[in-house]
Amino acid sequence: MNGGDIIIPAVAGDGSLYPVEKMQAHIDGVLHLAVSVFVFDGDLLLVQRRAAGKYHCPGLWANSCCTHPNWNESLEMSAARRLREELGITLPLTRHATVEYNAPVGRGLREHERVTFFSGQADRRQLEVAPAPAEVEAVDWIDRFELRRAVLNRPERFAPWLRIYLELFPTLDLGQSLPASS
């Protein structure tokens, strides 16, 4: 998927939202909404290696999944949708903190995101993960503390946003749990 023709919510200077084409947002570094999902089994985190055909950060390891809400799609719906699309998983999700970051992601593109975190709990022995080959090259479960060490030792193997998230939330508790928005 190249991101063309997908309309996502961008954030204006006054905080209001306006529609923008996804690829254009990444070319221009426009602040836009995003979600990041973390699936845990105790201290283990489900991570994915992004498919080689991804338009940015191909082959890098990232959290369970990330996406941008479609225009007029709630953050909660977006997180649940992408978990199904990328990994074939349906889980109850808990909403956490929202942060902003701005980072180059290669190929002249930038992620300038206001990202809201979601987490879900699963028993990895019973969870059937079915990665979409066009999106996900591999999945693995890694201890959240070992993940931090791995990122510190070999940062080039990990997506820029995951490195930022680990700086903000070293244990990936992702801030307080928040009620879902209506």
Domains located in the chain, CATH noted: 7-168 (3.90.79.10)
pTM: 0.91
DSSP state of 70: P
Residue 173 has pLDDT above 80, yes or no: no
Do β-strands 109-121 and 32-41 pair in parallel, antiparallel, or remain unpaired?
parallel
Looking at residue 168, what is its pLDDT?
86
Q: How many of the other CB atoms lie within 10 Å of CB of 22?
A: 23
Binding residues for Mg(2+): 86
For residue 33, what are the β-bridge partners? 114
How far the first Cα of the chain sits from its last, in Å, is 30
Binding-site residue set for Mn(2+): 26, 32, 68, 111, 113
List the binding residues: 26, 32, 68, 86, 111, 113
pLDDT digits (tens, 9 = 90+) for 57-69: 999 999 999 999 9
| CA 38 to chain CA mean position, Å | 8
Condensed to tens digits (0 to 9), the pLDDT of residues 116-164 reads: 999 999 999 999 999 999 999 999 999 988 999 999 999 999 999 999 9
The conformational region for residue 110 under phi > 0 = left, psi -120 to 50 = alpha, else beta, is beta
Tell whether the torsion through CA atoms of 62, 2, 80 and 169 is positive or negative. positive
What are the residue numbers of the active site?
66, 113
In sequence order, which residues have a C-beta less than 8 Å from that of residue 67 and are 6 or more positions away? 34, 35, 78, 79, 81, 82
Q: What is the pLDDT of residue 175?
A: 62
